[in-house]
């Protein structure tokens, strides 16, 4: 049975379903969980830096501050749900990273034996995990992956 489950969340309704499924498995198996949210780099900055251009640091700082605030809210809610079920839970926010790469790296680094994530997540400014990212996780994972619809 599973001993350490990585649950990727982004605050969307679908990722909340993934959180519930992951916590159900953890509670049944007596596994610990790491709940992870990932914020991508400031989109224009990422493109501009590749072109050798620079962006207004205040815009980037505002974006990063917002990402941290959103991540704290998402992880606090997830941690509360885990605590209510007496599931051992670590929360983690990885900043400025591609979601799939961050999920796979976190799972490897923490020796997780199951990854749980939603098939699609938020779009636009608050985009953290999306359909193409779920596909990349499934393709790159060295452990089992549960994709929740």
Lowest-confidence segment of 38-52, 89-103, 122-136 by average pLDDT: 122-136
48-52, 64-68, 132-136 — which one is most confidently predicted on average?
A: 64-68
Pick left, alpha or beta for residue 30 (phi over 0 → left; psi -120 to 50 → alpha; otherwise beta): left
Give percent above pLDDT 90 in the chain: 73
- Which of the residue ranges 6-15, 27-36, 115-124 has the most confident prediction, judged by mean pLDDT? 27-36
What residues does each domain of the chain span? 4-148
Please give, one letter per residue, the 3-state secondary structure of the chain.
Answer: CCCEEEEECCCCHHHHHHHHHHHHHHHHHCCEEEEEEEECCCHHHHHHHHCCCCCCHHHHHHHHHHHHHHHHHHHHHHHHHHHHCCCCEEEEEEECCCHHHHHHHHHHHCCCCEEEEECCCCCHHHCCCCHHHHHHHHHHCCCEEEEEC
What is the rounded distance in angstroms from the CA atom of residue 1 to the CA atom of residue 26? 10
For 59-81, how does the pLDDT look when each residue is reduced to its tens digit (9 = 90+)?
A: 889 999 999 999 999 999 999 99
| CATH 3.40.50.720, applies to 4-148 | no
Range of weakest confidence among 17-26, 37-46, 99-108, 135-144? 37-46
Is this prediction's pTM over 0.95?
no
pLDDT at 129: 42
């Amino acid at each position: 049975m599973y001993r350490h489950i990585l649950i990727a969340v982004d605050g969307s309704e679908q990722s909340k379903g993934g959180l519930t499924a992951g916590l159900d498995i953890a509670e049944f198996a007596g596994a610990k969980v790491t709940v992870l949210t990932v914020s991508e780099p400031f989109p224009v900055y990422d493109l501009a830096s590749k072109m050798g251009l620079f962006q207004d640091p205040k815009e980037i700082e505002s974006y990063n501050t917002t990402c941290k605030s959103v991540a704290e809210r998402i992880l606090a809610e997830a941690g509360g749900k885990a605590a209510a079920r007496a599931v051992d839970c670590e929360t983690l926010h990885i900043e400025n990273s591609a979601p799939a790469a961050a999920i796979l790296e976190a799972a490897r680094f923490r020796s997780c034996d199951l990854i749980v994530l939603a098939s699609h997540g938020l779009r636009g400014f608050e985009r953290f995990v999306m359909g193409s990212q779920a596909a990349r996780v499934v393709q790159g994972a060295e452990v089992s992956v549960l994709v929740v619809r």
